[in-house]
Copies of this chain bind each other. A is one copy, B any other.
């Protein structure tokens, strides 16, 4: 297939694999490679040429071995993806900010930075999967930033989802800055130019945005909006609870 999905069984298998601890070995030859080494190689390829170029073949070539040798370390492609993701995520940034607002902003920025370093992360993260240790750690950090925030558990989870969704959208956009992607933008521009009467608001919004120059604060803008929204919810609740008591 051209891309993207994996069957359910593989997804579960990948999760189990990710959380399995290294079993001490006994007999047999010493492993010539390591899981980390393989992950690194795969990540390097993804960084250079995109996730599509990551095939067992290429990873093997990069390590100077053959495709099938890898299967001794990684059960399959799905597991490779899982390992790549959890490796590339790295440890979460720990904000020592006391207040939830700057803490969440720092968290979102941290996620954004990581994702920008390895844009293919977006694809993997948004694919249905069970989070690995590192990914859960990020989650944990995000929730930690919200301890002081008077929201219900489900709401906090939703909030993180909202922020992550926003960050990932932006990374997708910014990753599309390569030469070939510019052509897509150019395409859209010429389409809009031709049918401006069909899409008046769109045409003018883009025109206006171009005039503004490249606003580089889309991340901040979005996060601020969300956090403002949270703030007003909190304020509203505080008001209604005090008037009730």
A residues lining the B interface (CB < 8 Å):
1-9, 11-12, 15-16, 19, 50-52, 55, 77-78, 81, 123, 126-131, 136-137, 139-140, 143-144, 146-147, 152-159, 161-162, 164-166, 168-170, 172-173, 175-176, 178, 180-181, 183-184, 187-188, 191, 198-202, 204-209, 211-212, 215, 218, 221-222, 224-233
Q: Cβ of A8 and Cβ of B183 under 8 Å apart?
A: yes
Q: Which residue of B lies closest to A206 (CB)?
A: B153
Contacts of A172 in B (CB 8 A): 126, 128
How many whole Å from A40's CB to the nearest CB in chain B? 20
Q: Cβ of A144 and Cβ of B201 under 8 Å apart?
A: yes
Q: Indicate how many identical chains form the complex.
A: 2
Q: Cβ of B1 and Cβ of A52 under 8 Å apart?
A: yes
Contacts of A181 in B (CB 8 A): 8, 128
CA distance A166 to B170 in the complex (A): 12
Q: Cβ of A176 and Cβ of B224 under 8 Å apart?
A: no
How many whole Å from A189's CB to the nearest CB in chain B? 10
Contacts of A233 in B (CB 8 A): 224-225, 228
CA distance A95 to B228 in the complex (A): 26
Contacts of A232 in B (CB 8 A): 228-229, 231-232
Q: Which of B9, B55, B158 contacts A180 (CB 8 A)?
A: B9
CA distance A187 to B209 in the complex (A): 45
Q: Cβ of A16 and Cβ of B187 under 8 Å apart?
A: yes
Contact flag A162-B128 (CB < 8 Å), given A154-B209, A184-B11: no
Contact flag A6-B15 (CB < 8 Å), given A169-B164, A199-B136: no
Q: Cβ of A128 and Cβ of B176 under 8 Å apart?
A: yes
